[in-house]
Structure 1
Amino acid sequence: MILPTKHIPQNEALIGVGATLLAHLGMPMTVSGLWEHLRTEPNVGNFERFVLASNLLYLIGAIEIRDGLIVRTAS
């Protein structure tokens, strides 16, 4: 479920959802603001998948929380 497999396409795996999340995170946003932008994306699906993808990105250091806003980290 985290990575794509033979039966889970890339855009439905959490890493693919995370890529979509990062693509929409051009500037710092609140969690609810980012969810509003992504709720209509078909590969995000529901809020649970959004949260799981956000957690994955946080764990790998791709995003962080500053002053209550989600920001991309400098890679």
Structure 2
Amino acid sequence: MITPTKGISPDRALLAVGAQIAVQLDRPLTVSQTWARLREWRRENGHPASLSFGWFVLALDVLHALGIVDLNNELLTRGTAHVAPAAR
């Protein structure tokens, strides 16, 4: 589900959908604006697999859990994911 599997195609995996969502967040957007932009982007970029709003929300949950997106004052923004320094 999070990554592609035998039953989940690569363009429907939650990480792939999450990456597509992150591309849309070039500025703060409402959830509805992000959903509309994502659907348009997928249509323009040849992603024919249908995407339900529920799947979109699951991808947002994954992004939030990873610290990639935040919801502040009803606006989605790119988060400040903290990356651990590389071990030497």
What range is the shorter-chain TM-score in?
A: 0.7 to 0.9
For the pair shown, the structure with the greater C-alpha radius of gyration is 2
Unmatched 5+ stretches in structure 2 = 82-88
Scaled by the length of structure 2, the TM-score of the pair is 0.73
Report the secondary structure of 2:5's partner residue. Answer: coil
How many residue pairs end up in the alignment?
Answer: 75
**What residue number does 1:63 align with?**
69
Name the CA shift for 1:50/1:44 in 2 (closer, same or farther; >3 Å): farther
Unmatched 5+ stretches in structure 1 = none
CA RMSD of aligned residues (A): 1.7
Q: Which stretches of structure 1, 4 residues or more, deviate above 6 A after TM superposition? A: none
Report the secondary structure of 1:71's partner residue. Answer: strand
**What residue number does 1:39 align with?**
39
* Percent of aligned positions that are identical: 37
Scaled by the length of structure 1, the TM-score of the pair is 0.85
Residue identity opposite 1:58 in structure 2: H
Displacement of 1:23 in angstroms is 0.7
Distance in 2 between residues matched to 1:68 and 1:7, nearest whole Å: 34
